[in-house]
Structure 1
Amino acid sequence: MKFGVSYSTPYFGVDPDKIVAFAQLVEECGFESLYLPEHIVLYPGAAVGPYELSPTLPYVDPLDCLSFVAAATERILFGTGVLLLPYHHPVILAKRLATIDVLSRGRMRLLTVGLGGLPGEAQAVGVDFATRGRRADEAIDVLRLLWAGGEDGVSFAGEFFSFEKLVSFPKPHQVTRLPIHIGGSSRAAARRAGHRGDGYFPGGALDAEERALQWELVRSSAAEAGRDPDALEYTRFASIDVPVERVEELAAQGVTRIVVNTAVTEPDEQREELSAFAEKFGLPR
């Protein structure tokens, strides 16, 4: 089992010294990865399910923040949970992700993308909310095409994006494609993970039966697409005080990575919580 930590600037704030110190603590404690969420803009009345979001929540740009953190760390992998893919142009995004991966020597490896659930956010960036699923599918194809393309260029003709003989360098560090995990809480997201993703990272308040159904849907969709279901990673959220027995249950369900959150904001308390977790699960330090 691999273990990551999520850092939420809406909760912890945007003090650069605190962000760096937290990332260094995560690395020191032996965690595999650090995840950041994304919202591009908010507005009064924006809500995810029953939860209304304050429009002043300070969501940093996750990729800019991870690039900043990369300069102060050496080992941890970087993830997004989730990047709102339909709201990014994939030609620009391919460059940004490859740049972070090159500068961090191969650590931008846990990109997790989702569709976004706020219609006003889609409208603000000129995206038809109803088409964001198809747009995300195309964007994934464009990203991989550009990363793998050579000096002669690559071409694409789709519903939302089209170009001829584009050449995008630098390439990701020592690979021809970066992993793309699919986030979401729907069966459509599960199918997308099976058809196109390198892994699935479901969120939301799903019951055990629905979670099991969605993971099976990921695997069956992968098989239908001629892909190896066993090659897909399965990431889940858990609390920082998750029992060992619960982690063993998740592993038996096929989970390969657990991402935890800490609710404490003081550095000493954060060190105590993360260190205790690392000791309980024998993380390399």
Structure 2
Amino acid sequence: MKFAISYNTAYYGADPDRIVACARHAEDCGFESLYLPEHIVLYPGAMAGPFELPPSLPYVDPLDCLSFVAAATRRILLGTGVLLLPYHHPVVLAKRLATIDVLSRGRMRLLTVGLGTLPGEARAVGVDFSTRGRRADEAIDVMRLLWAGGEDGVSFAGEFFSFDDLCSFPKPYGVTHLPIHIGGSSRAAARRAGLRGDGYFPGGALDPEERATQLDLARSTAAEAGRSPEALEYTRWGSIDMTAEQVEALAAQGVTRIVVTPTATEPDRQRDEMSTFAQRFALPEHLPS
């Protein structure tokens, strides 16, 4: 089992020293990766399920922040949970992601993308909310095409994006494309993971039966598309105080990575929570770079 830390500046604040301290401590504790969420804009009345999001929450740009973290760390992998893919132009995004991966020497490897749930956020960036699923599918195809393309250029003609003979360099560090994990809490997200994803990271308050159904759907869709169901990573949220028995139960469900979030807002208590978790599961401390 792999373990990751999620750092949400909306609740912890955007202080750069605190972000770096958390990332470095997570790395020293042996956590595999650090995840950041995304909201591009908020507005009064924006709802996340039954909860209203205060419009002043300081969500940082996750890719800019991960680049900052990469410069201050040596080993920890970089992830998003989730990046709102339909609200980014894939030609620009492919370059940004490859740049972070190159500068971090291959650590931008846990990109998780989702569709977004706030209609006002889509309107703010000029995206028709009803098309965001198709737009995300196209964006994934565009980025992989650009990453794999050579000096002769690549072309694409889709519903939302089209171009001829484009070359995008630098390439990701030592690979033909960056892994793309699919986030979401719907059967459509599970199918997207099976068709296009390197992993599936479901969220939401789903009951065990629906979770199992979605994982089966992701795997069966992958098989029908001629892809390997076994190669699909399965990431789930956990809690910082979870027990070994709870981890074993998730492993029995096929989970390969658990992402946990410190509950404390004070830096010292956050570090204590991470240290206690690492000791409980005997994470490999102080790995060499």
Aligned to 1:50: 50
Aligned to 1:16: 16
Question: 2-side partners of 1:98 and 1:85: how far apart?
Answer: 15
Aligned to 1:85: 85
Query: Identity, % of aligned pairs?
Result: 80
Report the residue type matching 1:259 in the other structure.
V
Report deviation, 1:205: 0.7
Whether 1:196 aligns to 2:158 is no
SS at 1:71's partner residue? Answer: helix
Report deviation, 1:273: 1.0
Report the residue type matching 2:206 in the other structure.
L
Gaps of 5+ in 2: none
Q: Which moved more, 1:49-58 or 1:98-107?
A: 49-58
What TM-score, normalized by structure 1, do the two folds share?
Answer: 0.99
Aligned to 1:228: 228
Report deviation, 1:267: 2.2
Report the residue type matching 2:82 in the other structure.
V
Question: 2-side partners of 1:68 and 1:272: how far apart?
Answer: 23
Q: Deviations over 1:21-79 (max 9, x none)?
A: 01001101000000000000001111011111111110000000000010000000000
Aligned to 1:97: 97
Report deviation, 1:271: 1.8
Report the residue type matching 1:200 in the other structure.
Y
Report the residue type matching 1:251 in the other structure.
A
SS at 2:236's partner residue? Answer: strand
Whether 1:139 aligns to 2:131 is no
Aligned to 2:257: 257
Question: 1-side partners of 2:110 and 2:191: how far apart?
Answer: 19
Q: Deviations over 1:101-140 (max 9, x none)?
A: 0000000000000000000000000000000000000000
Aligned to 1:160: 160
Aligned to 1:40: 40
Report deviation, 1:4: 0.2
Question: 1-side partners of 2:96 and 2:175: how far apart?
Answer: 15
RMSD: 0.5
Aligned to 2:112: 112
Aligned to 1:219: 219
Question: 1-side partners of 2:91 and 2:82: how far apart?
Answer: 19
Q: Deviations over 1:136-174 (max 9, x none)?
A: 000000000000000000000000000000000000000
Question: 1-side partners of 2:45 and 2:265: how far apart?
Answer: 27
Question: Size of the alignment, in residue pairs?
Answer: 285
SS at 2:27's partner residue? Answer: helix
Report the residue type matching 1:120 in the other structure.
G
Whether 1:205 aligns to 2:205 is yes
Report the residue type matching 1:215 in the other structure.
L
Report the residue type matching 2:283 in the other structure.
L
Question: 2-side partners of 1:209 and 1:123: how far apart?
Answer: 35
Question: 2-side partners of 1:270 and 1:118: how far apart?
Answer: 30
SS at 2:144's partner residue? Answer: helix
Aligned to 1:240: 240
Aligned to 2:283: 283
